[in-house]
Structure 1
Amino acid sequence: MSSTTPRFLKLPEKSSLSLRDQICEVVSAAIMSDALAPDRPLPSCRELAEQFGVSRNTVFAAYNRLVDLEFLVSRNRSGYFVNPQMAASQNAQSENEALKPGPQPCPVSFPPNNLMPVLNPLDWNAYPYPFIYNQIDPDLFPVDGWRECTRQALGRKTMPVWASDSVESDSPQLIQQLRQRLLNIRGIYAEEDEILITLGSQNALFILGSIFAHTGKPVALEDPGFFGARNAFRMAGSELVGVPIDSDGLIPAALPPECQLVFTTPSHQFPTMVTMSEKRRRELLAAADEKDFLIIEDDYEAEMNYVAKSSPSMKSMDETGRVIYVGSLSKTISPGIRLGFIVAHRDIIKEARVARGVMMRHPPTIVQEIVALFFQLGHYDAHLRNIERRYKTRWHAMDAALTKHLGMLTRTASEGGTSFWLTAPKGFDGAELAARLERKGVLIDRGRDYYLNYDNNRSFRLGFAYVPVCDLEDGVRIIADEVTALMG
């Protein structure tokens, strides 16, 4: 019985998988979609190797991997066939699908939640110029170092450390590394019971919002500000009050009376990238004592400073325990790792730990152990130096491109970070600009989404961490053409 090579089997144009795994993905997907006949042999290793332009050994390894996964069976002198059990299960699934009723309407209606979703397309990284926030260049990630740490963490000697439940504690190794390699650089001394590991800063903010929501007092936030914090506090049931900012950051004199929490991003104000002056930080600390509120300091992109030294953290200046420090490893390691932390008075951490346990028990301990090794073996420090150097180059290239092509717009003064904030004259439609640019392969962040009442549409944000430095000016030139057309 001869096989006919299915010409629809094609390797993806872009894939991070090895060639063997790409072949596994393509063949298994064809099996799951019932596109391969169970009674006919698959193409021989030689035939499929010629079709894909790979070696016969690669196809042989892929077929044997699919045999191990029970997608295929190997028959002596006949070749490889779809596993009959797999074919039977697919037929049963198809029959069940045919019997399923159509989609049913939801039995309850939901009021508007007033939350701000992430609006970027799912395939944002397929766009030529994705100038959007919170993305990192994957080419800068130290894969070999991460692989080494993962291998060590998965060893049998260390398995008991991460295999058990740990609701009441976090990785002691990670806590120690954070104290020694992150917090002390920011001038912060904290005991082990004053630190809580979270699933990124977003999770940290929701935990804090939840444990303080019972007070019934409003939460004050920068306006414009981080919509993730806005969402977290709204989900927790808090009333929100916007506080304006200027070239020095949040304005303490504009704080509302009787607020319980004040959320601020002093290192690089989110989204304008303004750095809060030391004088303004002391004013805010004094106001916290005088008006009896707590400050949540999100130390956003504190490491990314290119034209000035990093300002001291507010937590390091705090003498009364009123500052709750929130940090994340999303920018310095990877957003996909989803690890952050809270540093606060031990009584706050104790309540936060209980709330975290109710929400999701604890962040994956294996990830904590891998990250602890990543710090301990020096990979983090080397990686941080590398991305600081690379992002500094991009920041200066972006600064020059904006000066050259978008000088007609107002740009906030910035000392670093991975984005720029631009504002057009009155009457400008930033949402229309975003829509027009998307059709040309350029993604930007709409400024209106950062305002508490979505009432300012003149601004937009350009993040450059993912865009290669050689493409920055071309992308900015496209933006400038559309801005000029809209202002015409």
Structure 2
Amino acid sequence: MAIPVEAFFLAAGGAGTLQSRIRAMVTDGILSGRFRPGQKMPSSRGLAGHLGVSRITVTLAYGDLVSSDYLTSRGRSGYYVSENAPRAPEFPSPARPTEEVDYRAFSGGRFTRAMQGVERPDDWERYPWPFIYGQTDPSLFDHQNWRACALRALGRRDFPTLTSDFYERDDPALIEQVLRVILPRRGIAAGAEEVLLTMGAQNALWIAAQILLGPPGAGRRAVIENPCYPGMRRVLDVSGAEILALDVDEGGLPVSALAGGAVRRGDVVFVTPSHQSPTNATMPLERRLKLLDAASRKDFVILEDDYEFEMSFLKPVSPALKSLDKAGRVIYAGSFSKSIFPGMRLGYLVGPPGFIAEARALRSMVLKHPPGHIQRTVAYFLAEGHYDALINRMRTAFRRRRQVMEEAIAAEGLSIAGQGGYGGSSFWMRAPEAVDTGAVARALRAEGVLIEPGRSFFDPGRAVQNHYRLAYSSIQPARIPEGIAKIARAIGR
């Protein structure tokens, strides 16, 4: 029995080429059991006319399916579902079980409670005024060269990298680029045994916290900035460690706040000295040296999250805290998520060999290593200079957007709480004290404007409701003034 042409339908707006979508329709029909071995397919001319595509598109799709043994060609008779086509196992229609176990009770709900953070809609791209942080602007990204590097990494020469299990090791090509390209511009000298790749900065922070703070009950204290990156607080909330949040000023974390019993031997201080998250303050060199001196005198360790160091376009970038460390007290965390794109989820830790050995062993309990293809693609992207060109393009664009936003903010009479003097990709804002920016954000979303309420950045015991963050990484300059005007009106209401 022939398969009727009406069994095929191309939905509007589907992803992929027409040829790949036709292939997907056929394979889905075969794997689901709707198309049976030996059934005749519609003619290429008939299917093309039904779908409104060219005949050659259908012919190419059919030819591809023949090479994959989904279809077979019988001379002048046409195409048939192959007798050797892959088949899905046949089971009775499954029934969803009732949930009789309270799995949140197993963990006390501590993980879901810790997930409270900045709310961002998944479909942020459809909003006309997305002042949200950390998303990629397609107009700035180097699609062509990234695709070329990805295709090169998929080639026959790199097949072992793509397919092999490297166990606990990382791609030496990417490690070499991190050592030669990334770390030297932060003033950091390191060897391969001092670097570990991670699945983004969040994964790096989790690994570091698990090692440095020890098991629950170890008695170590985590000292963090207030306000700070919400993801860092989530990691620490579930670690079982005592958390001390210290208020930042225009230079980041004040070293004077670590006096007395604020920090003790074996404690860990978590800092973002390049661009403090979310205030964008850059820690002065003198304060960095004082922090390192305090670490030696009080015998504590520092976790440096080198957040947004690439986006220092107003002044030359400051040396990393790690580059000034002579005693191995600084563990350094970096990421490609903001400089290339967040969906890649690739970061790295830099520390003494003893720390990296522990981190590698811990990582192996969750994942052996980040995907080999991603590692090799990034290695090529760095080696061929595309990464530096991308960073320069982003800096130029962000400088322009920052200027437009700063002028719009001044024109509308809004208050900047922290903008940083080195660059970055956002402004830290302050509304009048009585304003709940969470309510403002909900009202603005209905008008097509996205902002980030600031409450989740603060210590929960001292939550502040009138701050918010405005990022310019994902919005075109021409849209900024109108969006800022809408924000000002909403806060005024």
TM-score by length of 1: 0.86
- 1:21 maps to what in 2? 20
**1:440 equivalent in alignment to 2:451:** no
**1:241 equivalent in alignment to 2:244:** yes
Q: 1:286 deviation in Å?
A: 2.0
What does 1:58-457 align with in structure 2 at a 5 Å threshold? 58-65=57-64, 95-97=92-94, 100-110=95-105, 111-113=108-110, 114-117=113-116, 119-161=119-161, 163-214=163-214, 215-255=218-258, 256-258=262-264, 260-405=267-412, 407-414=413-420, 415-453=422-460, 455-457=463-465
TM-superposition CA deviations, 1:297-322 (whole Å, max 9, x none): 11111011232221121112222221
Partner SS, residue 185 of structure 1: helix
**Cα distance, 1:5–1:139 mapped onto 2, change above 3 Å:** farther
Q: 1:65 deviation in Å?
A: 4.4
C-alpha separation in 2, matches of 1:133 and 1:106: 38
TM-superposition CA deviations, 1:61-91 (whole Å, max 9, x none): 345545666777778778778889999969x
**Cα distance, 1:50–1:273 mapped onto 2, change above 3 Å:** farther
**Cα distance, 1:23–1:465 mapped onto 2, change above 3 Å:** farther
The gaps in structure 2 that reach 5 residues or longer are: none
Q: 1:273 deviation in Å?
A: 1.2
**Cα distance, 1:36–1:441 mapped onto 2, change above 3 Å:** farther
Aligned length: 478
202-211 vs 29-38, greater mean Cα deviation:
29-38
**Cα distance, 1:87–1:359 mapped onto 2, change above 3 Å:** closer
**Cα distance, 1:101–1:129 mapped onto 2, change above 3 Å:** same
C-alpha separation in 2, matches of 1:448 and 1:19: 46
Q: 1:204 deviation in Å?
A: 0.9
Contact 1:11–1:26 (8 Å) recurs in 2: no
**1:11 equivalent in alignment to 2:18:** no
Partner SS, residue 115 of structure 2: coil
Q: 1:46 deviation in Å?
A: 5.7
Q: 1:409 deviation in Å?
A: 2.4
What is the aligned-residue identity percentage?
A: 38
346-355 vs 115-124, greater mean Cα deviation:
115-124
C-alpha separation in 2, matches of 1:362 and 1:4: 46
TM-superposition CA deviations, 1:110-139 (whole Å, max 9, x none): 323131345322222232222222211133
Q: 1:262 deviation in Å?
A: 0.7
Contact 2:263–2:300 (8 Å) recurs in 1: no
- 1:480 maps to what in 2? 488
52-61 vs 68-77, greater mean Cα deviation:
68-77
- Aligned letter for 1:223? N
C-alpha separation in 2, matches of 1:473 and 1:257: 45
- C-alpha RMSD over aligned residues: 3.2
Partner SS, residue 96 of structure 1: coil
TM-score by length of 2: 0.85
C-alpha separation in 1, matches of 2:197 and 2:191: 14
TM-superposition CA deviations, 1:190-223 (whole Å, max 9, x none): 1221111111111111111111232421111111
Q: 1:402 deviation in Å?
A: 2.1
- Aligned letter for 2:389? A
Contact 2:416–2:427 (8 Å) recurs in 1: no
C-alpha separation in 2, matches of 1:117 and 1:45: 53
C-alpha separation in 1, matches of 2:450 and 2:322: 35
**Cα distance, 1:481–1:54 mapped onto 2, change above 3 Å:** farther
